[in-house]
Chains A and B, each alone.
Chain A
């Protein structure tokens, strides 16, 4: 039986949820509303007045090759971040799942990166790959490879992907490990007796049974790659070289705060808002019927 607390009056419950409502209103509804409003205007060159343009900002954006390029960059970036962070996490989780002794230590070590703020993680990786003093750069130089993410767009993308994925591995690992441990041992043993070797078991039994976890993580990681990697990109590449790492969120910032094109920036925010809503809807619809087998 579900236990419900019932309040007599109306004031106490309102008072209790008020802080949350106020925070949401001030930091979400107000800016979101303002973004929608602003996306319909363009400011004059001196920022003194606003001119109503309807959907003009959106029309301009969708025909802007830089904005489209940023879409592609975002797609590449989030696919790579999601694939790398989930792939590595799954691999580590499978290893940790087979290990019973000492798994506590591994888990703790693997969780640490999650506690590091994205910007700090960015700086950390930036130091290692610094083109002049970075440790990794030096080693690569010894091996005859000239690392320079400041000039090379591919290397820049690689570095922001690794730095962003690194912080996510812990989170994904925890979910994968929990998912693996929820699979009854006897099911795996039955498959072994049925003739399936490790890889076959993984492909036909373990992975399908993990699919709810995998799907959940997929959505969460895409959302992360879209929206929460700003700090990493800002510290490592600032969107460069030649916009090679300017993902949509970064473009909102650079167009709005550096380019001072508030109308376009607001329109981009609105597009992102729509994207995140879609992802959230997918996630919730899916979570409602999580047990699919």
Chain B
């Protein structure tokens, strides 16, 4: 178990800079989720921590030790890959035992450790099978098992659940969280799924085109987003962005953000804004209503499923608590005077 520190970490492929300087101090045992859209550099960041990519500038420290020049095998880490990367010609047992055998762990201890991991992951009956004889979820567990038997200081996960179906994904998500809590191993977890990020993370790094737009606890990021990118990426359906100048006395380019669940529908005269219902999506527990204003702005409202569903073309007003609104400058950064 160890702390992990990234100091102004940068990565370039040729002349193109992909990661523009990430800083974070990760506490021992913390679960950090790196989240962001495809191509933003999540995997690259993780692979630099693993030692699978060279660092272009900055420093990675594991347990206080600079590891930039240290080979992956000497970093005391374990990694779970998106495609699991199991050794296809080895049994489940040998897959999990591989790292221990190389580490010259005594045979008897290898057996106990692998069997203990198999027990936790419910892989007991499959130890003699080859990876191709397993289901996707079982392969995923083997990959997890391979990581935990070695008792590393840091776990690295690169989208480990993205090849599973939705239901299994939810189940494995819970299992990973429970396992990490139980073992208390510092973890870095990459995903593009914001729900996974919200549920797993102690803190999350929201990546936007190679920069860490915001680092913080899930609810803090959700409740207090630093940029329009973060506000739009975390939360579903995403935050509404309105032209602030149309609503109040504000300089041009400033946008006003409000989350769909903060907005209430009222009569036209009472609203801060009024528009016509473009369409409504009743989802059972909740209803999503898409409103369009006269000047062409769109606003999504999320209301309780028990409330009446407005008809298409209805003219309605929308209000929200001013404490629930966020203002962002033309550069997308949060304007801090409002809170």
A interface, CB within 8 angstroms of B? 184, 186-187, 189-197, 200, 204-205, 208-209, 293
| B81 is an interface residue with CB less than 8 A from chain A | yes
Please determine whether B103 and A190 come into contact, CB atoms closer than 8 angstroms: no
Given A186-B83, A187-B85, A209-B88: A195 in contact with B52 (beta carbons within 8 A): no
Contact, CB under 8 Å: A195 / B85: no
A189 to B53: give the CA distance in the assembly, Å. 11
Which chain A residues border B103 with CB–CB below 8 Å?
195
CB distance from A241 to the nearest CB of B (A): 47
A191, B102: Cα distance in complex, Å: 10
Inter-subunit contact B89/A190 (CB<8 Å) = no
Chain B residues with CB under 8 Å of A205's CB are 87
The contact of B102 among A189, A196, A208, A209, by CB within 8 Å, is A196
B130 touches A293 (CB 8 A): yes
Evaluate contact between B89 and A208: CB separation under 8 angstroms. yes
Contacts of B79 in A (CB 8 A): 189-190, 193
B72 x A193 contact (CB < 8 A): yes
User: B89 near A195 (CB under 8 angstroms)?
Assistant: no
B73 interface contact, C-beta 8 A? yes
The 3 lowest CB-CB distance pairs between A and B, nearest first, are A194-B99, A293-B89, A186-B85
In chain B between 210 and 268, which residues have their CB closer than 8 angstroms to a CB of chain A?
none
Bound-complex Cα distance A256 to B286 (A): 93
Query: Which residue of A is nearest B150, CB measured?
Result: A194
Q: List 19 A-B contacts (CB under 8 A).
A: A187-B86, A187-B88, A190-B81, A191-B87, A191-B98, A192-B71, A193-B52, A193-B72, A193-B99, A194-B73, A194-B98, A194-B99, A194-B102, A194-B150, A196-B73, A197-B73, A204-B98, A209-B88, A293-B89
User: Contacts A192-B73, A194-B150 given: A187-B99 contact, CB under 8 Å?
Assistant: no
**B67 at the A interface (CB under 8 A):** no
- The contact of A189 among B52, B86, B88, B99, by CB within 8 Å, is B52
Say yes or no: B89 contacts A184, CB within 8 Å: no
Closest Cβ of chain A to B69, distance in Å, is: 15
Q: Is B206 an interface residue (CB 8 A)?
A: no
A286 to chain B, nearest CB (A): 16
Closest B residue, CB atoms, query A186: B85
B87 touches A187 (CB 8 A): yes
Say whether B72 contacts A189, CB under 8 Å. Answer: yes
Report the minimum CB–CB distance from B44 to chain A (whole Å): 14
Q: How far is the CA of A191 from the CA of B95 in the complex (A)?
A: 10
For B113, what are the chain A residues with a Cβ–Cβ distance below 8 Å?
A: none
Identify the interface centre among A190, A192, A197, A200: most chain B CB within 10 Å of its CB. Answer: A190
| B residues adjacent to A (C-beta < 8 A) | 50-52, 71-73, 77-79, 81-83, 85-89, 98-99, 102-103, 130, 132, 146, 150
The residue in chain A whose Cβ has the minimal distance to the Cβ of B75 is A193
Q: Determine the chain A residues whose CB is within 8 A of the CB of B73 once the complex forms.
A: 192-197
A190-B72 Cα distance, complex, nearest whole Å: 10
Q: How far is the CA of A189 from the CA of B7 in the complex (A)?
A: 24
Q: Tell me the minimal C-beta distance from A47 to chain B in angstroms.
A: 59
Q: How far is the CA of A195 from the CA of B50 in the complex (A)?
A: 12
Would you call B89 and A200 a contact (CB within 8 A)? Answer: no
- Chain A residue contacts of B150, Cβ below 8 A: 194
B51 contacts across to A, CB distance below 8 A:
193
Which residue of A186, A197, A293 contacts B81 across the interface (Cβ within 8 Å)? A186
Q: How far is A200 from B73 in the complex, measured between Cα atoms in Å?
A: 12
A192, A194, A208: the one within 8 Å of B52 (CB) = A192
> Is the beta-carbon distance between B81 and A195 smaller than 8 angstroms?
no
Residues of B within 8 A of A197 (CB): 71, 73
Instruction: Give the chain B neighbours of A190 by CB distance below 8 A.
Output: 79, 81, 85-87, 146
Q: Are B89 and A209 in contact (CB under 8 A)?
A: yes
Are B89 and A189 in touch, CB under 8 angstroms? no
- Tell whether A200 pairs with B83 under 8 Å between CB atoms, given A189-B72, A192-B72, A194-B150: no
- Closest B-chain residue to A197, C-beta based? B73
Which chain B residue lies CB-closest to A190?
B85
Is B87 a contact of A193 with CB atoms below 8 Å? no
Residues of A within 8 A of B82 (CB): 186
A291: min CB distance to chain B, Å: 9
Q: Are B83 and A184 in contact (CB under 8 A)?
A: yes
Residue from the list B77, B102, B146 in contact with A200, Cβ < 8 A: B102
Which residue in B88, B99, B130 is a CB contact (below 8 Å) of A195?
Answer: B99
Minimum CB distance partner of A196 in chain B: B102
CA distance A267 to B338 in the complex (A): 100
Shortest distance from the beta carbon of B158 to any chain A beta carbon, whole Å: 9
CB pair A194–B83 under 8 Å, yes or no, is no
Complex Cα distance A209/B86, Å?
Answer: 12
Query: How far is A200 from B88 in the complex, measured between Cα atoms in Å?
Result: 16
Measured between beta carbons, the chain A residues less than 8 angstroms from B86 are: 187, 190
On chain B, the residues within 8 Å of A192 by CB distance are: 52, 71-73
**Roughly how many angstroms separate A205 CA and B90 CA in the complex, as a whole number?**
9
Instruction: Look across to chain A and name the residue whose beta carbon is closest to the beta carbon of B89.
Output: A293
Known A186-B83, A200-B102; judge A194-B88 contact (CB<8 A). Answer: no
